Structure 1
């Protein structure tokens, strides 16, 4: 049986965390485990996570970051810790469960089919799907997604959905081995890192990646994303253009520095 570890970044999630839903999906999938990353929360999130871990200590782990470093760093640190274990698949999922946990089984089934290394959740409004998203967020998201596709030179519909899974492969240590240059748009930077690293070896990312249209997704009350974040996203886009296009050789050296030094430890953010 192939095992899966899902990283769940958490920042001040005490009021929105739903322990019962996590425990329910663990009962349904014996190969699944969760790694919750407390990103310096100032409420009782850490206590809630410890209580959840105590209910399933063999399959729930908690990584506590003492100071708030942002979602990008929380995910990065979580993925690095997760791939130290024997899991076949690893991924990350938003703590508010805008994407239901039941979709994990669908992602795993795609990876099980062979020929696919990465599955990205995609919020596409199709007949038979339930995608509940505020109109203004949808349209701003479409503009950003178009810009991201142009930057990456990759036909990707939704870079920002908080549900992604990967086969546990050596390239993950390179992709997540160094801190991201951006925070809110780190998903785009992550994809860009895969592109740069796989281009070195002649691999074709587009043939081993799948965007999976979600059956269900909903804006959750209390979301921390607002208009200011989209403005930050525009600024971060310029940062990514510099690193991924204008100075890509220097950026690739940044990603592969640990290869030359032989040091695979997690650098400080």
Structure 2
């Protein structure tokens, strides 16, 4: 099978109600635009028919693949698992609700082709592109969280949490092997790591519509994400990311025994890398 130019990763947990619609929209977009693309659905230990539905679609779509996590591990784990196994020159992930229409991937691809290593979709750069707005309380908590993220982690982006991001494959292979946060708080970490690696990051306004079926709780998950940010900051102050990056640069392989020695969190990354290569 030919090497794909684009890989589209969709993390999915108990998505039987909307995965079929997502696949229909994604596959139609790929066909209409003639993209040289593969689609990778990462099933995060679903208890419903998500995997069975994807298997059924795979019978008619040879460039659709299913990756299954060993149980429910979280969105961050799922995105990492999918992107590290993706074969495209450009790799991206999108949420199963397709709040950002698949057609908007053209904007991310254009940013990568224009020299960016990482392109991130933004709901807030151009608010006129929002087709269905979030409830006011979600907007309030989302903006507060983004302000805290910008302040604590020094990330100069208007929207760190939009689940619509693309990477050069070479950049993703390093960034996601250094990732340690495996649930909702992974987005700021991968951007933090990308900046540490001096990657060019481009924020791109995208069309976006809120899905009322969103499972994220701004109170419960928001508190956990604040804990994750504190953990990222602690890892950085302890030099764990720098040590892991140095270990990578000192060897010819991406994940090495040295990486496993820089702390419990980064040791998990090395283990993950070994699982992906099997």
TM-score after normalising by structure 2: 0.82
SS in 2 for 1:127: helix
1:133 Cα offset (Å): 1.3
1:43-70 Cα shifts (integer Å, max 9, x gaps): 111101111222211x211111131111
CA distance in 1 between counterparts of 2:95 and 2:54 reads: 15
CA distance in 2 between counterparts of 1:179 and 1:109 reads: 25
1:240 Cα offset (Å): 1.8
Instruction: Structure 2: state its 5+ residue gaps.
Output: 256-268, 273-278
Moved over 4 A (4+): 258-263
1:129 Cα offset (Å): 4.4
Residue 64 of structure 1, aligned match among 46, 65, 68? 68
1:19-47 Cα shifts (integer Å, max 9, x gaps): 32122112113322211111111111110
1:123 counterpart = 2:128: no
Change (3 A) 1:128 1:104: closer
Change (3 A) 1:118 1:250: closer
State the partner residue of 2:183: 183
Q: Does the aligned pair in 2 maintain the 1:182–1:189 contact within 8 Å?
A: no
1:262 Cα offset (Å): 4.7
Change (3 A) 1:126 1:148: same
CA distance in 2 between counterparts of 1:117 and 1:261 reads: 22
| Greater per-residue helix proportion | 2
State the partner residue of 1:80: 84
1:233 Cα offset (Å): 1.5
Q: Does the aligned pair in 2 maintain the 1:39–1:68 contact within 8 Å?
A: yes
Please list, as runs of the form range in 1=range in 2, the aligned pairs for 1:7-22 lying within 5 A after superposition: 7-17=9-19, 18=21, 19-22=23-26
Q: Count residues in correspondence.
A: 252
1:267 Cα offset (Å): 3.2
1:239 Cα offset (Å): 1.4
CA distance in 2 between counterparts of 1:128 and 1:148 reads: 23
1:229-262 Cα shifts (integer Å, max 9, x gaps): 1121122222122123x22x23322355455465
Aligned-residue Cα RMSD (Å) equals 2.2
1:172 Cα offset (Å): 2.3
Instruction: Structure 1: state its 5+ residue gaps.
Output: 199-204
